[in-house]
Amino acid sequence: MKTLITPIKFSWRVHPLVVTLLCMMLFPLIAAADTASDIKALIIDTANETKANMKDTEGGIAAGGALMFWSSGGLMQNVAAGGKPSEYEVFSLTPKHIEVVTLVEGQAAVAMYYSEGSMHEKGGKPVDHYMTRITEVYVNEDGNWNMTAAHYSPIAAGSGTVATAVQ
């Protein structure tokens, strides 16, 4: 007796069009992870470099400056690019629980995290228990991630900085 149904042979070969479509769908997810990884690494590397050298890193502020609310509770500050980096007697701040939201892949992102430790800027008052929530907005300028806005707010039982204005 002849069967009317022909068995279908299974093959692992995938049509090139299917592979192309899958790659196109997955690429934005992979690319977004790169921006987030870049910003997280920048935040960690900057903190480690400041700890090692006891002064802020050069640059990092967008060409047009950055608007900031500092953890001291003062008014909004407009921090110019190219300013003199702060120097420290003590610096042990550690960024924690960093989350990054990519706004435009490779162009703009927002980072939110906590920073905890102690700091004493040269010529300033020491902050023994710095514990702050941080939101920073980054833009990519000529291949460098630079801050264009930031908001730092102390966590209950912690302290922010003591500076209230750009000098």
User: Rounded distance, CA 136 to CA 67, Å?
Assistant: 10
- 55 pLDDT more than 60: yes
What confidence score (pLDDT) does residue 31 get? 46
Are 131 and 155 in contact, with CB atoms under 8 Å apart? Answer: yes
pTM of the model: 0.76
Question: In this predicted model, what pLDDT tens digit does every residue of 61-113 receive, in sequence order?
Answer: 999 999 999 998 889 999 999 999 999 999 999 999 999 999 999 999 999 99
8-state DSSP, 107: T
Q: Is residue 166 part of a domain?
A: no
Answer with the residue of higher pLDDT: 144 or 9.
144
Q: Is residue 4 part of a domain?
A: no
Q: Is residue 3 part of a domain?
A: no
What confidence score (pLDDT) does residue 157 get? 73
- 27 pLDDT more than 60: no
Q: Is residue 63 part of a domain?
A: yes
Q: Is residue 10 part of a domain?
A: no
Question: In this predicted model, what pLDDT tens digit does every residue of 129-148 receive, in sequence order?
Answer: 999 999 999 999 999 999 99
Are 19 and 106 in contact, with CB atoms under 8 Å apart? Answer: no
Range(s) of the domain holding residue 142: 16-154
Q: Is residue 163 part of a domain?
A: no
CATH of the domain at 86: 3.10.450.50
Number of domains the chain is built from: 1
